[in-house]
Amino acid sequence: MTEEVLKKIKQLPPLPETAMKIEEVYQDPNSTFNDMAKIIEQDPLLTADILKAANSPLYGFSREINSISQAVGLFGMGTVRGFALASIVKKSFSLDLSPYGITSEVFAELSKKQHALVTKWCLRKENRLMGVLSPAAFLVEIGKVIIAQIIMSHKKEEEFKNAIEHLNGDVDSAELEIVGVDTTEVSSKVFEHWKFEEKLVDTIKYAKNPETAGDDDTKRASAILKAVRETISLNGAVTDENISKAKATIEEFGLDVESYENALEGLK
């Protein structure tokens, strides 16, 4: 990790009190759905953000979700934790992704699609991992914000663009070539800086190489995250080539391909 990247991460503001309270409730084995709902409902803007996200057609619910309690009941605490953290964390950053050739709106749509794919794929079959997978899917790309800042500060936008083209669209490898770190490294360090639990940090950290994760749950969660990142391109596109690559990962790590294929409906 370069000193410049670490310095930028250390300069990040602490997360708001609401995020800390949500984390306390989530980590407390004696907490209930109502405990989390009460904390979120104290913040009207956060409540509105979560309900807007939960009602996205990407999730395929036929009825409107009108309350946080209803959202928690449908998605579970782990997934709603992801909705909340995504809303809070993204407000902690100034989002300029111009070196990647995308707008903040496209970046937000990418995060939503990644989260929707994880949720539809894993909410039932991998429910015990959703507390980690939900925020990880929403926020695994957040490291791009810091990498973009460094690229712009050194005026390497054109060099970065050329590297992506030369590497056939492999953005992670282009980041390594130009900045010396890639998105998953930076994103995991951001969560480590904010003192999130080790499993969340490691799920993002090992998303490129799940086989190197230290325990089976992290390996499985990282493999799911890897397949999700392979499925959805930076611009939000889902191509046959992407799906083939993701299915190779799914097969390698013994994940459920049928649930994955069902989850793809509505994303293409």
Average pLDDT, the chain: 90
> Between helices 130-139 and 104-122, what is the axis angle to 10°?
160
More confident residue, 58 or 212: 212
The answer to which of 2-6, 147-151, 209-213, 237-241 has the lowest mean pLDDT is 2-6
Q: Is the pLDDT of residue 104 over 90?
A: no
Q: How confident is the model at residue 266 (pLDDT cuts 50, 70, 90)?
A: low
141 in Cβ contact with 191 (< 8 Å): no
Rounded CA Rg of the chain: 18
Q: How confident is the model at residue 209 (pLDDT cuts 50, 70, 90)?
A: very high
pLDDT in tens, 70-98: 888 888 888 888 888 888 887 777 789 99
Sorted by sequence, the CB contacts under 8 Å of residue 38 that are 6+ apart come out as: none
The domain locations on the chain are 3-264
CATH class of residue range 3-264 = mainly alpha
Q: DSSP of 111-155, one letter per residue?
A: HHHHHHHHHHHHTTTTGGGHHHHHHHHHHGGGHHHHHHHHHHHTT
Q: How confident is the model at residue 53 (pLDDT cuts 50, 70, 90)?
A: confident
The answer to which of 35-39, 181-185, 246-250 has the lowest mean pLDDT is 35-39
**Alpha carbons 66 and 48: distance in angstroms, whole number:** 10
pLDDT of residue 1: 55
Residue with token string 């913040």: 43
Q: Is the pLDDT of residue 149 over 80?
A: yes
Nearest residue to 259 (alpha-carbon basis) of 130, 123, 80, 114:
123
Q: Is the pLDDT of residue 46 over 80?
A: yes
Handedness of CA 60, 253, 191, 108 (dihedral sign): negative
Give burial (CB, 10 Å; 0-12/13-18/19+) of 110.
buried
The answer to which of 37-41, 86-90, 95-99, 260-264 has the lowest mean pLDDT is 86-90
CA 94 vs CA 36, 56, 71, 90, 198: distances in Å: 28, 24, 28, 8, 26
| Two structure tokens written together for 107 | 């970046």
Q: Is the pLDDT of residue 54 over 80?
A: yes
Q: Name, of 11-15, 39-43, 207-211, the range with top average pLDDT.
A: 207-211
Amino acid residing at 173: S
Handedness of CA 264, 107, 187, 88 (dihedral sign): negative
> Cβ of 188: how many Cβ atoms within 10 Å?
23
